[in-house]
C-alpha cells in the first residue's frame, strides 16, 4: 500500500524518495527543545530539492492520505528512538493529522502498535490536528479522540483561530496544546488587536489547562513580546528551520557539551 502512495506522489512531484524533517518547539527562556514537529518531504532524484506535501497532498485519495500518515508516524517514532538513545532527549514528536482522518477505525490500534514496537511512551507523541477541513461529527471520531486521551497521547490544534469552528473544537477535542499561527504572533507590536487576541488566548489556555505554542517566531523582538504575554514555548526560524534528524541529534549533543 505504501508503494502505491509513493508512486502517486512521484507522478506529481517526480521520481524520488520519502523523507522527514523536523522543526523544534523550544522553551524560549532556556532554549530547551521540548518537541519536534515532524514534516514530510519528497526528496527529488533530479534536483537537490525537497517538495512540500502541499504540492501533492490534495491529489491523494483518502486511503492514500491515511497510509501516508501511518508511514510518517512509524518512521518518525523510529527515528525519534534513535535520537533519544544517542542524545538522551526526552521531548515529544508532533505529527500532523488531517481532521477527517480522526474517524479512521484503525487509527488508535495502528498508532499503539508503532509505540509498542519502538518502546516509545504515548505522552511523547502528539497528534497535531490541522483545521484545513472540518472534523466529521461521527461516533468513530469521538471514540478515537477518547481512546487517544486515555492512552496518554497528546492532541494539539494547529493554527488555532484560522480554521473551522475553533472554539467548538476546543470542546470536541479537549486538546492538550493550542498552536497560535504566525498571523497572530508575528506582528504584535504593530497591531494592538493581535496583541489583545493573543493575550486573551493565553489567558483562556491557562484557565483550561491547555499549553500554548507560538508559531512563526522569526525575531528576538517577537519572541520577547510573546514571552511578556505569557507564552513560553515557541516555534519558528529564530529557533531553527526544518532539518534532518541527524542534524538535531548533533545540535542537542553539542548544546549539552557546551552546557556541561
Note the pTM of the prediction, 2 decimals. Answer: 0.92
Report pLDDT digits (tens) over 134-174: 777 778 888 999 999 999 999 999 988 776 657 778 888 89
Task: Give the pLDDT band (50/70/90) at residue 194.
Answer: confident
CB atoms within 10 A of CB 134: 13
Q: Which of 126, 93, 70 is nearest to 24 (CA)?
A: 93
pLDDT at 48 over 90: no
- 126, 35 Cβ separation under 8 angstroms: yes
In angstroms, the CA 26 to CA 20 distance is: 19
In this prediction, residue 20 carries a pLDDT of 96
Would you say the C-alpha torsion 183, 188, 192, 194 has a positive or negative sign? positive
In this prediction, residue 207 carries a pLDDT of 94
More confident residue, 259 or 85: 85
pLDDT at 8 over 90: no
The CATH number of the structural domain formed by 2-255 is 3.20.20.450
pLDDT, mean over the chain: 89
| Pick from 25-34, 71-80, 116-125, 189-198: least confident | 189-198
Q: Where are the domains of the chain?
A: 2-255
Report pLDDT digits (tens) over 216-226: 999 999 999 99
Amino acid at each position: 500500500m505504501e508503494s502505491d502512495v509513493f508512486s502517486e506522489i512521484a507522478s506529481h512531484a517526480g521520481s524520488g524518495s520519502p523523507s522527514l524533517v523536523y522543526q523544534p518547539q523550544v522553551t524560549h527562556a532556556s532554549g530547551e527543545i521540548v518537541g519536534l514537529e515532524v514534516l514530510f518531504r519528497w526528496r527529488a532524484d533530479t534536483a537537490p530539492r525537497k517538495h512540500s506535501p502541499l504540492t501533492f497532498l490534495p491529489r491523494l485519495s483518502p486511503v492514500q492520505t491515511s497510509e501516508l500518515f501511518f508511514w510518517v508516524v512509524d518512521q518518525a517514532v523510529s527515528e525519534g528512538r534513535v535520537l533519544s538513545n544517542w542524545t538522551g532527549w526526552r521531548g515529544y514528536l508532533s505529527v500532523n493529522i488531517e481532521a477527517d482522518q480522526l474517524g479512521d477505525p484503525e487509527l488508535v490500534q495502528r498508532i499503539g502498535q508503532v509505540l509498542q514496537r519502538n518502546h516509545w511512551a504515548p505522552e511523547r507523541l502528539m497528534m497535531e490536528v490541522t483545521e484545513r477541513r472540518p472534523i466529521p461529527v461521527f461516533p468513530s471520531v469521538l471514540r478515537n479522540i477518547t481512546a487517544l486521551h486515555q492512552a496518554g497521547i497528546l492532541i494539539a490544534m494547529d493554527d488555532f483561530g484560522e480554521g473551522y469552528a475553533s472554539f467548538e473544537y476546543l470542546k470536541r477535542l479537549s486538546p492538550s496544546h493550542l498552536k497560535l499561527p504566525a498571523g497572530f504572533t508575528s506582528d504584535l507590536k504593530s497591531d494592538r488587536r493581535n496583541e489583545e487576541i493573543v493575550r486573551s488566548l493565553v489567558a483562556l489556555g491557562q484557565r483550561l489547562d491547555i499549553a500554548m505554542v507560538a508559531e512563526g517566531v522569526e525575531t528576538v523582538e517577537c519572541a520577547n513580546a510573546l514571552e511578556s504575554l505569557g507564552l513560553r514555548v515557541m516555534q519558528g526560524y529564530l529557533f531553527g528551520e526544518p532539518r534532518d534528524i541527524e542534524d538535531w541529534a548533533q545540535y542537542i549533543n553539542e548544546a549539552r557539551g557546551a552546557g556541561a
